[in-house]
Structure 1
Amino acid sequence: MTSEQSSASRKQVTLILAIPIVVIALSSLLFVLAQKNVLNFGTVNRGSLIQPPVQLGELKPARLDGSEFMFDTPESLWLFMVVGGRDCRDACERMLYLTRQTHVALGKKMGRVERIYLATDGPLSPQLRDFIEAEHSDMTVVYADGSDFVGAFQQLPSSPLDARSFYIVDPLGWVMMVYRAADTETDTLTTLGKDVLKDMRRLLK
């Protein structure tokens, strides 16, 4: 082998070895830029992803009988979670309505999704309890500490207790997405409901 052939061979080997290093470096750079929102690759999700997702189980949500609402069990489902207080009026009521209509619209897949109302400031008022029993009898009511909830979601751009919002929780208890309506007009909620359906149909495949 001539010196020229030997030099060319070394260059070829060096190039081959360098390729994975360059790929890793570029991947790391893109990841950092995306994390810092310097680059936005877009998303097919209509809802806003919660990054990092929050583990709802760490807030120890409790059922009406005091037992803990468990995740990661054979019975665990996806959740539509509306968050409110002892009372739920106006925008909050509209979120209950939106999640109910969207749940029904899932059709055959609705059995894989459960609706919950997370109360953050103590037992429900008699009025809200009666309203849920009459209009949202399929909804499970759970309780969690309000300050803990707000602290866990402090990375959100809007208030975690925004009455025009509701959350998507996976069966493992990770709160992964939030939807927020610009207003509570019927057209706005109809459009948002369609967006939720598109996301859920992908998630429930």
Structure 2
Amino acid sequence: MFAVILICASPIIASYFTYYVIKPESRTNYGAFIDPREHPLPQLGSSTLEGKPTELDAYKGKWIMLQVANADCTEACTKKLHDMRQLRLAQGKEMDRIERVWLIADNKPLDTMLIREYDGTRMLRANAERIKAWLPVEDGTTVFDHIYMIDPLGNLMMRFPKDADANKIKKDLYKLLKASAIG
């Protein structure tokens, strides 16, 4: 009789052992979630390349994929710009819900070919100190190393790691767009 009780109870015992001793990681997202209450959307004093004042608020209602870099756009910068463009395109009919924004943290001129190559990316010049004060980073990284996500309400909500895997970001984007779909 003890053997029958042990066999019947073994799934329950195994589940408790797994949950409390092994502690499997249940996280399914690739990017790190950010508490938007700790990082509210500030006024960055940003402007378009033509000098017209505009803020990130102008893109409310859309998911914003955000990267920060200087105008001299290094290889890592161009890779992120390329990844952001491809990630948006990979969303298919949902791609219009995503806006790509590059915050340029200095006043140096941009390469014309770079502007043409990433046409459709919103390029805004903003104060580097305000950007650094607003965006959280992982230990050992800077704001230039990450891609950030801002939700349609204007809340900073996710940060992807340095040298992020675009396929894993694509899965997160798909989940975000699916979960936030209306109707």
Shared fold per TM-score greater than 0.5: yes
Asked if 1:148 corresponds to 2:130, the answer is yes
Task: Check the 8 A contact 1:81/1:115 in 2, yes or no.
Answer: yes
Return 5+ residue gaps in structure 1 as ranges. Answer: 1-38, 183-188
Please, which of 173, 176, 187 is the counterpart of residue 157 of structure 2? 176
Tell me what 1:67 maps to.
53
Please, which of 26, 30, 39 is the counterpart of residue 46 of structure 1? 30
Distance 2:42 2:48 in 1: 13
Distance 1:153 1:49, change over 3 A: same
Tell me what 1:107 maps to.
92
Asked if 1:194 corresponds to 2:167, the answer is yes
Identity %: 26
Q: How many residue pairs were aligned?
A: 154
The residue identity in structure 1 corresponding to 2:144 is: D
Please, which of 20, 31, 56 is the counterpart of residue 41 of structure 2? 56
Distance 1:69 1:103 in 2: 21
Tell me what 1:131 maps to.
114
Following TM superposition, where does structure 1 have runs of at least 4 consecutive aligned residues deviating by more than 4 angstroms? Answer: 39-42
State the secondary structure of the residue aligned to 1:167.
strand
Distance 1:58 1:40, change over 3 A: farther
Largest Rg, 1 or 2: 1
Deviation of 1:202 (Å) = 1.6
State the secondary structure of the residue aligned to 1:83.
strand
Task: Check the 8 A contact 2:147/2:159 in 1, yes or no.
Answer: yes
Asked if 1:166 corresponds to 2:147, the answer is yes
Distance 1:118 1:126 in 2: 12
Return 5+ residue gaps in structure 2 as ranges. Answer: 1-22, 179-183
Cα deviation per residue 1:5-45 (whole Å; 9 max; x = unaligned)?
xxxxxxxxxxxxxxxxxxxxxxxxxxxxxxxxxx9975322
Distance 2:128 2:65 in 1: 18
Map of 1:13-32 to 2, 5 A cutoff?
Answer: none
Distance 2:31 2:136 in 1: 18
Distance 1:160 1:176, change over 3 A: farther
Distance 1:155 1:95, change over 3 A: closer
Task: Check the 8 A contact 2:34/2:159 in 1, yes or no.
Answer: yes
Distance 1:160 1:40, change over 3 A: farther
TM (norm. structure 1) is 0.65
The residue identity in structure 1 corresponding to 2:57 is: F
